[in-house]
């Protein structure tokens, strides 16, 4: 167990993220953790993530570290990823899996693109998985001995910590409910109603109290929101407008993309002739410039090889699934109500986990890799558990090994390593002039969108006014920025008038307000730089 863990640790440490386009929020988190106010350490969607990382960063500073929070946050994320892998192995031990299958579940998770990249990034999606798996582990212990109160208390604590690190894991409550119901149904002859209700209430009081208590403490103590209306407005302020509510057909189509890319990055497919044009026709508002720019220098041999390896992986994965459906699953799912084993119980918990999360993800941001990352450990563990009855058959180890090798090769060579080259970081290159020339105290007005703004805000430490979603209020916000922030210099990008595809789609008719502001300011704009990405102007009227 130690050797694979050390190998993954070395692999992750040598592939720390440089390109932050995939994890679009990462630079905003880093800016908040490094420079942010107390309020910025507590976002309602992932209440304690920034705060935990900020405290970790402060610890580094006390030891003499003088740079931004980027390296400490990545170190903490990698550590979290390794703990997840350790817990996967531990759950495999508790379920009686052979060592080879424990290693498979560990490494298949470690080599999956989403889990790998977000473990070496500055994002919120890895750390909560620790507490999801600890909750599953705790349920296995409760299933073996329901009586000890401490087990139910810890389950409540772990469940609460998962939610506090990211709201998505409210779904874990459903998994826990199913676990409790199954434990009581199977053990109803030994577990009295009184004991069941008291222990279940203990879990609910601890978990709910810790979650709600923390939210209320932050709302009142940090944000000074005291009424229910104020707290509700604060909680909803972090919601992504228009990012949820997909119907089953559209959501399922997008979910296939998100789920698949959570395992196989697939960047090499964008180097294939015609693929980008096809995807652009299918999803007209989706910007593919970042992916195309990343792979623009892929030689044809590399593209063909990566495509072939990807296809081999999908074939191997398909053969594994078919073999499990035909031979493994029928042997495994023979549930004895009176003598449920840890392996059977774990399989039911994992099935509930996968089902609840998948249904939610189809409805909410189905195309996003991020929401599917938490399913990787559950899926690989499920495959490992179902493989137990057929693991000695000659073909199965071959399929598993082939899938694992192709997953590593495709993601390392085709997705991870290309993103370690700054020259292929689309938004860094787009904003290179701002990064080199803007300074703290400057104001940059841009219409390139959220990811682009994050690059300017973090690397130049300048204040950014986005014109993408400002609407009718844009001119007022611009004048207010001049009054309140009193910027030393003001730079305005031509993307205000001509935003890229994705920003234009998000803004819709609001582009008219941005163009109107640009035209109004044009007489006072002095050209500073023109490159292939944009024209950059300084606003001279502010100096008068």
Q: CB-hemisphere CA count at 13 Å for 64?
A: 0
Say what the pLDDT of residue 530 is.
96
Sheet harboring 525-530: ordered strands across? 463-466, 443-446, 490-493, 535-539, 525-530
3-state SS, residue 100: helix
Helix runs in 264-391, H state only = 275-282, 289-294, 300-323, 329-332, 342-363, 375-387
Q: How many CB atoms lie within 10 A of CB 456?
A: 25
Say what the pLDDT of residue 206 is.
98
3-state SS, residue 457: helix
User: Which residues, 6+ apart, have CB-to-CB distance to 209 below 8 Å?
Assistant: none
Say what the pLDDT of residue 392 is.
82
Say what the pLDDT of residue 79 is.
98
21 backbone dihedrals φ, ψ, rounded to 5°: -70, -40
- Token pair in block for residue 228: 């229910």
E runs forming strands in 30-84:
none
Say what the pLDDT of residue 504 is.
55
Residue 305 CA to residue 143 CA, distance in Å, equals 48
User: Which residues, 6+ apart, have CB-to-CB distance to 429 below 8 Å?
Assistant: 293, 423, 533
The DSSP annotation for 184-218 comes to HHHTTTTS-HHHHHHHHHHHHHHHHHHHHHHHHHH
Helix (H) or strand (E) holding 180: helix 171-186
| Separation of CA 239 from chain center | 15
Residue 326 CA to residue 332 CA, distance in Å, equals 11
Say what the pLDDT of residue 337 is.
43
If we measure between CA atoms, which residue out of 513, 535, 516, 515 comes closest to residue 526? 535
User: Which residues, 6+ apart, have CB-to-CB distance to 105 below 8 Å?
Assistant: 88, 89, 92, 97, 377, 380, 381, 383, 384
Residue 93 CA to residue 102 CA, distance in Å, equals 7
Say what the pLDDT of residue 511 is.
78
Say what the pLDDT of residue 104 is.
98
Say what the pLDDT of residue 339 is.
37
pLDDT means per 10 residues, the chain with 544 residues, are: 94 98 96 97 97 98 97 98 98 94 98 98 98 98 95 99 98 98 90 96 98 98 93 82 55 86 95 81 75 94 97 97 80 48 90 97 91 98 93 89 98 98 96 97 95 97 90 89 94 93 58 89 95 95 60
Say what the pLDDT of residue 472 is.
81
């Amino acid at each position: 167990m130690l050797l694979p863990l050390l190998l993954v640790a070395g692999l992750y440490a040598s592939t720390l993220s440089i390109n932050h386009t995939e994890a679009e929020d990462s630079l905003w988190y880093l800016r908040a953790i490094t420079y942010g106010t107390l309020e910025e350490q507590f976002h309602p969607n992932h209440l304690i993530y920034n705060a935990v990382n900020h405290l970790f960063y402060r610890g580094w500073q006390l030891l003499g570290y003088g740079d931004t929070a980027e390296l400490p946050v990545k170190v903490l994320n990698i550590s979290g990823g390794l703990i997840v892998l350790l817990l996967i192995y531990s759950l495999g031990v508790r379920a009686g899996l052979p060592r080879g299958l424990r290693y498979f579940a560990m490494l298949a998770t470690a080599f999956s693109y989403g889990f790998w990249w977000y473990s070496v990034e500055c994002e919120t999606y890895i750390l909560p998985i620790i507490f999801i798996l600890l909750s599953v582990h705790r349920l296995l212990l409760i299933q073996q001995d329901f009586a000890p109160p401490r087990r139910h208390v810890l389950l409540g604590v772990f469940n609460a910590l998962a939610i506090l690190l990211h709201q998505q894991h409210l779904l874990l409550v459903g998994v826990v409910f199913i676990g409790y119901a199954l434990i009581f149904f199977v053990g109803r002859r030994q577990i009295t109603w009184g004991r069941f209700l008291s222990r279940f209430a203990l879990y609910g009081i601890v978990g709910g109290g810790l979650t709600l208590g923390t939210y209320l403490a932050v709302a009142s103590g940090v944000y000074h929101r005291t009424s229910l209306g104020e707290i509700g407005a604060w909680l909803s302020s972090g919601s992504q407008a228009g990012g949820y509510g997909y119907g089953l057909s559209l959501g399922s189509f997008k979910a296939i993309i998100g789920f698949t890319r959570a395992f196989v990055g697939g960047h090499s497919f964008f180097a294939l002739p015609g693929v980008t044009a096809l995807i652009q026709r299918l999803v007209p508002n989706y910007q593919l410039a970042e992916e195309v720019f990343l792979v623009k220098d892929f030689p044809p041999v590399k593209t063909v090889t990566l495509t072939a390896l990807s296809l081999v992986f999908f074939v191997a994965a398909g053969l594994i699934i078919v073999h499990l459906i035909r031979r493994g699953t029928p042997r495994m799912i023979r549930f004895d109500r009176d003598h449920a084993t840890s392996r059977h119980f774990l399989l039911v918990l994992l099935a509930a986990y996968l089902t609840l999360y998948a249904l939610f993800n189809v409805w909410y941001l189905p195309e996003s890799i991020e929401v599917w990352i938490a399913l990787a450990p559950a899926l690989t563990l499920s495959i490992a558990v179902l493989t137990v009855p057929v693991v000695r058959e000659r073909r199965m180890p071959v399929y598993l090994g082939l899938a694992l090798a192709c997953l590593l090769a495709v993601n390392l060579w085709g997705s991870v390593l290309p993103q370690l080259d700054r020259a292929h970081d689309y938004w860094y290159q787009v904003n290179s002039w701002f990064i080199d020339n803007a300074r703290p105290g400057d104001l940059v007005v841009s219409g390139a969108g959220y990811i682009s703004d994050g690059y300017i805000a973090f690397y130049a430490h300048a204040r950014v006014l986005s014109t993408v979603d400002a609407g009718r209020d844009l001119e007022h916000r611009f004048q207010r920025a001049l009054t309140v922030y009193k910027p030393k210099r003001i730079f305005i990008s031509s993307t205000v008038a001509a935003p890229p595809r994705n920003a234009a789609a998000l803004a819709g008719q609001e582009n008219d307000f941005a163009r109107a502001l640009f035209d109004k300011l044009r007489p006072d704009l002095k050209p500073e730089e023109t490159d292939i990405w944009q024209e950059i102007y300084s606003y001279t009227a502010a100096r008068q």
